[in-house]
Structure 1
Amino acid sequence: MENTLQLDLNRSSHSCREDFSEYVAHLQLHMALQARNLVPNLTQAADSREQLLQETQAEFEKLVSRQMR
């Protein structure tokens, strides 16, 4: 009986962690998409600051997409 109870607790804990991880992943994706709306569309960079912004945006989006897998 005790082993069964422990097994049920482990499953419940694992399920809760998976649910939380999925929630965090969705939240990160939502935040990345929101952030994308806050920066200009990728065009030919007019100066080094705009180029840095575009590179940073691309790197952030790559990082988020890798975390979703």
Structure 2
Amino acid sequence: MESNVLKGASVASAANDDFSEYVAHLQLHMTLQARNLVPPLKQIQEGSREQLLHQTQANFEKLISRQGL
């Protein structure tokens, strides 16, 4: 009986490790995506707010136009 408890704990530990690795990978992926989606601060300072607004609107319209109905 004690052997089954140890095996269960070992399986739970392995599953927990897999889940932790998955979460770490997901966090890394989200961080890299955020870097690609947010323009650098220097770029915002050099361009006008109006340019940034137009570019954001254009990107949004491209995204919407590529989605199927």
Q: Which has the higher contact order (CA 8 A, sep 6+)?
A: 1
C-alpha RMSD over aligned residues: 1.6
1:41 CA drift (Å): 2.7
1:40 CA drift (Å): 1.3
Aligned partners of 2:33 and 2:43: how far apart in 1?
Answer: 22
Please say which structure displays the higher CA radius of gyration.
2
Q: Percent identity?
A: 53
1:1-69 alignment, distance < 5 Å: 2-43=1-42, 46=45
1:39 CA drift (Å): 1.0
TM-score (norm 2): 0.58
Q: Which has the higher helix share?
A: 2
Runs of 4+ in 1 over 4 A off after TM superposition: none
1:37 CA drift (Å): 0.2
SS, match of residue 40 in structure 1: coil
TM-score (norm 1): 0.58
SS, match of residue 38 in structure 2: coil
